[in-house]
Amino acid sequence: MRIVGICAGGHDTSAALVENGEVSFAITEERLDRVKHSKAFPWLSIQACLDFGGLKPSDIDAFVFGWNFERFVKELYLKPALRDISHFEYIRRDSRKLDDFLHFEDHVRERLNYQGVIEHFNHHDCHIAYAFHTSGFSEANFLSIDGYGEKETTVVGHAERGSKEIFDVHNFPNSLGLAYAALTHYLGFKHHCDEGIVMGLASYGDPKATAPGTGRSYESIFDEIIQVDESGRFQINYEWLTLGLMKGRWVTEKMVETFGSIRKPDSELTQHHMNIAAALQRQVERAVLSLSKAAYDRVQCSNICLSGGVALNCVANTKLLLSGPYKDVYIPSAPGDNGVAVGAAILAYLKRNPGSQISSLREVIGLGPVYSDKEILSAIETAGLQAERPQDLVSQVASLLVDGKIVGWYQGRSEFGPRALGRRSILTRPFPAEMKDYLNAKVKFREYFRPFAPVVLEEKAGEYFQMDIKSPYMMHAFPVKETVKNSIAATVHVDGTCRVQTVSRDSLPQFYALIEEFEKQTGIPVILNTSFNIKGQPIVETPLEAVRTFQKTNIDALVLEGYLIKK
């Protein structure tokens, strides 16, 4: 049985293929259309699913959407307009978009000449299904937290194979995800894009500092903006945030009067902005901890799954893990909206095969397309480059890293999700501290304060970081042990933590071998890993994109599968 899941209608559109209980393929549209956080209908991703399986549309048992568009229109547009006629303005404003949503099914049938089954599942159900059914757990509590689905913004509950129970729901517009987006916009960054930048900026701030002209601490003001009930509820205060409900506006005049004008992009970042980011991050962490505790109070399960865009907040994830009582916190590689394509396909498969299990995706790194040796050689030739194919590739690359060279690393099927995990990575040695500044300024062309991740041999992680779990997807930020901090200084954030990736021999054998060889030459089982892209560009997908990025940056060498290219 073959099911294609589709995420469409918002940001990070995507498609996924589930075959006989296994997630065999998944890709985000941005990797193919080269538009960061692409909102385009994922035709390219759908075609990539078919190409991977050698399939025709007629071979697919069902195409399924990770949104229930009819319910979305009813809950967020029609019902509010019936209660308050002024809400009709939103229907008029978004009429073209809504018409598109309600005709997605027709578009699929027409373009693919498909006569089979097309279904729709609720957005948060898909988030939850993706996280739980790929976790390997037989039971787990769950949190699904994002901007919004058809109506829900946060869903809390407990899942077992074949059933789930909902404990609590927060509904639109009461949304942690939208609150973070609003403050991301206020701080001069792109909402639904740069929230991770704001999370990194928060470590430079002090929420206890006094906000100028208020006589109050930033955290006390944010206690009012995002109100957190320790029993598992939160409430966004709409006197401060409009959450995008008003076209082009995310914050109110009260916010501007209290904290000053919205920061212009690329203008100076002051301590004031950092303190706002820190206060925001503190409230989100408090909310996540409160929600998770409330779930545990209902069912004392030691496992929890996180999904939705807020689950990309690795600092909050780590606070949850370290605070207890959960022993295992699972976050899939693509917890944002792109992951609902996988969740939708899983739900459709289980609907047709009750009692079946989905193969675990724990430590499965590559779900993208396969590129042939011919395509790799064509990319090298097109770029006019010379490549060698050394027998001792791993040894040579490790030596380049030891010498302080920067290496583009392109191996196998691409990662699914926003992190580069050793398939599409830029690598260098994790020292000295100045390496971070060089990479940000000369290679990635991005803000000075943004950190880089260490990738460490799984069995050596506890020697360098205060952690005792696997972290294959960089979803946690663990404290670095003082005794080794200087040896990996370029990967240590200002707060003394690192967004760690652990690598096992089974999950990424070539990548593991490279780090192992680097350890032989330096005594350090850690290298610096960042995504193979520059600011504003999606991570490279094809061999030619890797070559082009290599040519226009200060990357010193490029590895394309078994080929090595040096400048």
Annotate 324-380 with DSSP letters as a single string. Answer: SS-SEEE--S--SGGGHHHHHHHHHHHHHSTT--PPP-TT--B-S----HHHHHHHH
Determine if residue 158 is left, alpha or beta; phi over 0 gives left, psi from -120 to 50 gives alpha, anything else beta: beta
Q: Residues 301-360: pLDDT tens digits?
A: 999 999 999 999 999 999 999 998 999 999 999 999 999 999 999 999 999 999 999 999
Q: How many helical (H) and strand (E) elements, i.e. helices and strands, does the chain have?
A: 21, 23
Question: Which tokens is 126 given?
Answer: 């898909």
Non-local CB neighbours of 553 within 8 Å, separated by 6+ positions? 442, 443, 534
Q: Where in the chain is the domain with CATH 3.30.420.40?
A: 2-124+338-352, 135-331
**Per-residue pLDDT averaged across 400-423, rounded?**
97
Mean pLDDT of 139-155: 98
Share of residues in the chain with pLDDT > 90 (%): 96
Give the amino acid at 123: H
CATH superfamily of 373-566: Carbamoyltransferase, C-terminal domain (3.90.870.20)
Proportion of the chain above pLDDT 70, given as a percent: 99
Residue 249 parent element (H or E): strand 249-251
Q: State pTM to two decimals.
A: 0.96
pLDDT(247) > 70 = no
Are the C-beta atoms of 161 and 134 separated by less than 8 Å?
Answer: no
Contacts of 192 by beta carbon, 8 Å cutoff, 6+ apart = 11, 37, 147, 181
- The H or E element spanning position 27 is strand 22-28
> Under CATH, which number does the domain 2-124+338-352 receive?
3.30.420.40
Q: Cis ω on the peptide bond leading into residue 173 (within 30° of 0)?
A: yes
Residue range(s) occupied by CATH 3.90.870.20 in the chain = 373-566
- The CA–CA distances, whole Å, from 99 to 85, 93, 94, 285 equal 20, 12, 9, 37
Q: What is the pLDDT of residues 507-562, one digit of tens each?
A: 999 999 999 999 999 999 999 999 999 989 999 999 999 999 999 999 999 999 99
Q: Is the dihedral of CA 160, 166, 167, 172 positive or negative?
A: positive
Query: What is the CATH architecture assignment of 135-331?
Result: 2-Layer Sandwich (3.30)
Phi, psi of 205 (to 5 degrees): -100, 170
Predicted confidence (pLDDT) per residue in 16-57, tens digit? 999 999 999 999 999 999 999 999 999 999 999 999 999 999
Which positions ≥6 away from 482 have C-beta within 8 Å? none
Structural contact between residues 64 and 119, judged by C-beta atoms closer than 8 angstroms: yes
